[in-house]
């Protein structure tokens, strides 16, 4: 596949930024090329926890053949209620495979060969430089399915701009509408401005969701919003922002919150949301004219946890 030389320049610029890392809004400033570790605990190589077909995403993502999912270990935020905390915050306790971009590209091509509808890059914000290089390599080796950036939404606009032309589908979270709540519960300073700027940049690049004749996503943005107890997520303000981008933007309103990890003993976060709390958010979204809301059944609270011991396709 022919890719423009500007993409090579973007990749090179991203890799240089690893030397004083500012690839995400945490801006730790460590030299990851020499082995220094910042908050994400990730060096020059990517740490991969799991690769495989995933059938638990939105219907347009998982389709009938599954989404080709690559779970990156570690994370650039510290959510106290993280549902995948084994991967994001306890990665030293599970099998991890460190990969250079060339090996990561090979995994992408392998997922395409077994029928994946797309390449689903989960928790990519802290390894955006390595991902960009891997996608360029994979595209030049014939990768033809869409690439999907599945993120917590705490992303650097500068890093996202370097991905323009490499990512087909963006799947960001919009977690909070309060910087103080984001700082306390996710360790993310300046979250609201960073998150909204990131989503706006994603939307600028790929726009509203486009699907093929089988309703499988080809390009565009799907935004996820997890409704939290006691209105902690600031759902109304987040929906107001999304409506200001486009009333046709696809918004997944998630009802699955349940106390996990450190949230189990925290006031407000130590319970599931109620039907009334969820319905209030759904009604508000519809009232704004958001025409493409994905609404969950309240009992839809199952969470996908890969079986790292027995369902890992890597060679040990």
Domain boundaries, the chain: 5-219
Average pLDDT over residues 205-225: 98
Nearest to 302 by CA among 256, 270, 266: 256
pLDDT surpassing 50 at residue 223: yes
pLDDT surpassing 90 at residue 312: no
Banded model confidence at residue 249, pLDDT cuts 50, 70, 90 = very high
Asked if residues 111 and 138 have their Cβ atoms less than 8 Å apart, the reply is no
In three-state secondary structure terms, 32 is helix
**240 CA to centre of own chain:** 21
The rounded distance, in Å, linking the Cα atoms of 287 and 304 is 31
The rounded distance, in Å, linking the Cα atoms of 37 and 286 is 44
pLDDT surpassing 90 at residue 307: no
Residue 129 Cα distances to 43, 252, 265, angstroms: 11, 28, 37
- DSSP character for 89? T
Nearest to 159 by CA among 118, 124, 203: 124
**266 CA to centre of own chain:** 25
Average pLDDT over residues 164-180: 98
- DSSP character for 272? P
Please classify residue 208 by burial: count the beta carbons closer than 10 Å to its beta carbon, then call 0-12 exposed, 13-18 middle and 19+ buried: middle
The rounded mean pLDDT for the chain is 92
Instruction: Flag whether the pTM goes above 0.75.
Output: yes
Looking at 3.20.20, 1.10.15, 2.60.40, 3.30.1490, the CATH number of the domain 5-219 comes to 3.20.20
Nearest to 195 by CA among 234, 238, 229, 166: 238
Banded model confidence at residue 277, pLDDT cuts 50, 70, 90 = very high
pLDDT at res. 2: 61
Asked if residues 297 and 255 have their Cβ atoms less than 8 Å apart, the reply is yes
pLDDT surpassing 80 at residue 303: no
pLDDT at res. 311: 39
């Amino acid at each position: 596949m022919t890719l423009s030389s500007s993409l090579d320049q973007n990749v090179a610029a991203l890799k240089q930024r690893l030397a004083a890392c500012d690839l995400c809004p945490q801006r730790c400033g460590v030299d990851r090329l020499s082995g220094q570790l910042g908050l994400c605990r990730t060096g020059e190589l990517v740490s991969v926890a799991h690769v495989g077909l995933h059938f638990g995403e939105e219907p347009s993502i998982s389709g009938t053949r599954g989404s080709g999912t690559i779970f990156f270990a570690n994370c650039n935020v510290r959510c106290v209620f993280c549902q995948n905390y084994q991967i994001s915050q306890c990665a030293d306790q599970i099998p991890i495979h460190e990969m250079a971009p060339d090996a990561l590209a090979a995994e992408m091509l392998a997922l395409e060969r077994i029928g994946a509808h797309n390449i689903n890059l989960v928790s990519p914000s802290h390894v955006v430089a390595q991902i960009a290089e891997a996608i360029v390599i994979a595209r030049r080796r014939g990768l033809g399915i869409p690439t999907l950036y599945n993120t917590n939404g705490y992303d650097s606009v500068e890093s996202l701009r370097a991905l323009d032309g490499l990512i087909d589908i963006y799947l960001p979270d919009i977690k909070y509408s309060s910087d103080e709540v984001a700082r306390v519960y996710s360790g993310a300073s300046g979250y609201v401005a960073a998150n909204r700027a990131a989503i706006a940049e994603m939307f600028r690049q790929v726009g509203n969701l486009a699907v093929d004749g089988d309703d499988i996503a080809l390009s565009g943005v799907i935004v996820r919003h997890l409704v939290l107890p006691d209105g902690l997520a600031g759902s109304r303000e987040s929906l107001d922002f999304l409506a200001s981008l486009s009333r046709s933007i696809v918004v997944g309103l998630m009802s699955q919150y349940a106390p996990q990890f450190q949230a189990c003993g925290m006031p407000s976060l130590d319970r599931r949301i109620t039907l009334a709390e969820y319905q209030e958010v759904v009604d508000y979204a519809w009232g704004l004219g958001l025409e493409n809301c994905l609404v969950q059944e309240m009992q839809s609270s199952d969470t996908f946890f890969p079986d790292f011991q027995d369902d890992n396709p890597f060679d040990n």
